Homo-oligomer: A and B are copies of this chain.
Amino acid sequence: MTATMPQAAVGASLSPAAVARIRADFPILQERPHGKPLIFLDSAASSQKPVQVIEAMDDYYRRYHANIHRGIYHISELATEAYEEARSAIARFIGSPCSAECIFVRNATEGINLVAYSWGRSNVRAGDVILLTEMEHHSNLVPWQMLAQEKGARLRFVPVTADGRLDMNRLDTLLDGARLFAFTAVSNTLGTINPVRELCLRARAAGAVSVVDACQAVPRMPVDVTQWQCDFAAFSSHKMLGPTGIGVLWGRKDLLDAMPPFLTGGGMINVVRYDRTTFADVPARFEAGTPAIAEAVGLGAAVAYLTAVGMERVARYEHELAALALEKLRGIGQVVVYGPGIEHRTGVISITVGDIHAHDLASILDREGICVRAGHHCNQPLMEKLGVPATTRASFYLYNTPDEIDALIAGLEKAKRIFKLT
């Protein structure tokens, strides 16, 4: 719906000029919290939005908002088309052969819950094994605890090694007898990039269905669910330049076709009688009630933006920033970096600095205009395992710059002076 697209330079990564042009698309980067330029290093929690996305939703509300699907008038037809076009755009973006495999949900969390309730409750039985990893976000852990508790199934965990990677040696043993293997493509705390395709193939070989938490992968690297060979994948719009209030559950068509509905009500039915109901085909079967229409339009615009920049480039640029940050962090004493070496990670970096608690560190950085996340990152058991109550996490995205990493380093040094650490 919006015509202007980012003008990224050609090349392997993003040039400084390309990044400057990208930055110009993000109005929030003009903000000056505490009188300092905003340095946003918390995109792993939620990314900022380019004008293209904001304007696409604006345009929707100003020109063609209407409820979809059942409206026999012009603006309702436009809204329906835009909603379904967004679905198709997302399907193309993640290499899905068929747009009906993309179900709109509120966020990745709801997507995973949908699988746990709909697939899980009708396929997992007492004594079955559900395999997870020790690095899962609460959203890819608690729904499986609930399912295991309801069904009397057992949870197992792929251990995380000392350098923050999955212990692949024990995988086949752990997969033995597993009905389902749910794991994250990228750790939101350690930055670890997991070998998704290998994990999916080994799950399939063991007869387990694979559920990929793609929340940190889809925003920052090329993702192809066909290449991954996964069965389900969930991700959130708000982490990939899109609006809040929408996310996607991707599922293999044959699995989705066989699944009972989860939420029920308007829009997902075939024939309703007072005493019984038959349900619509996917994706409608899983989209009860009026959906997040404007948000789908916004997510479609976000996907168009990322496609125009090129996901290969986004991934390479973020990797460059991560490498730079790791190198500079090595130069500061008392900084501990968690997670694997640069070759296995993306631009999500968790640290601790001496005895400065993460919240204090984040507060000090905030006064410098620097936004980082502090806490357990919805990874409490992993924190426990790492032996820290909390870490401070900086995460980079296509609009960040090397200068901002310098500012982060200067902020950390200032924090050390305040806390009288040498």
Contact = CB atoms under 8 A, between A and B. Distances in A.
Interface string A46-74: 10110001100110011111110011111
A109 B54 contact: no
Interface string A257-296: 0000101111101011111110000000000111111110
A46 B66 contact: yes
A266 B74 contact: no
A26 B48 CA distance: 27
A365 interface: yes
Identify which of A65, A155, A370 gathers the most chain B CB atoms within 10 Å of its CB.
Answer: A65
Identify which of A48, A288, A359 gathers the most chain B CB atoms within 10 Å of its CB.
Answer: A288
A109 B245 contact: no
Range class of the A interface residue count = 35 or more
Contacts of A288: 109-110, 113, 139
Interface in A232-264: 236, 238, 243-247, 261, 263-264
Nearest to A141: B272
B139 A289 contact: yes
Contacts of A110: 263, 288-289
A23 interface: no
Contact of A75 (B139, B295, B371, B374): B371
B373 A70 contact: yes
Interface string A356-385: 000100110110001111110010110010
Contacts of A42: 66-67, 71, 73, 76
A27 B57 CA distance: 13
A142 interface: yes
Contacts of A109: 263-266, 288-290
Given A45-B67, A61-B54, A275 B75 contact: no
B293 A244 contact: yes
A123 to B, nearest CB: 16
B266 A139 contact: yes
Contacts of A138: 264-266, 269, 272, 277
Contacts of A247: 289
A21 interface: no
A244 B287 CA distance: 14
Contacts of A49: 61, 65
A158 to B, nearest CB: 11
Instruction: List 4 tightest A-B contacts by C-beta distance, closest first.
Output: A109-B289, A139-B265, A245-B292, A245-B245
9 contacts: A46-B66, A73-B372, A109-B263, A139-B265, A142-B265, A247-B289, A265-B378, A269-B380, A271-B380
Interface of A: 27-28, 31, 33-34, 38, 42, 45-46, 48-49, 53-54, 57-58, 61-67, 70-76, 106-110, 112-113, 134, 137-143, 145-146, 155, 157, 236, 238, 243-247, 261, 263-267, 269, 271-277, 288-295, 359, 362-363, 365-366, 370-375, 378, 380-381, 384
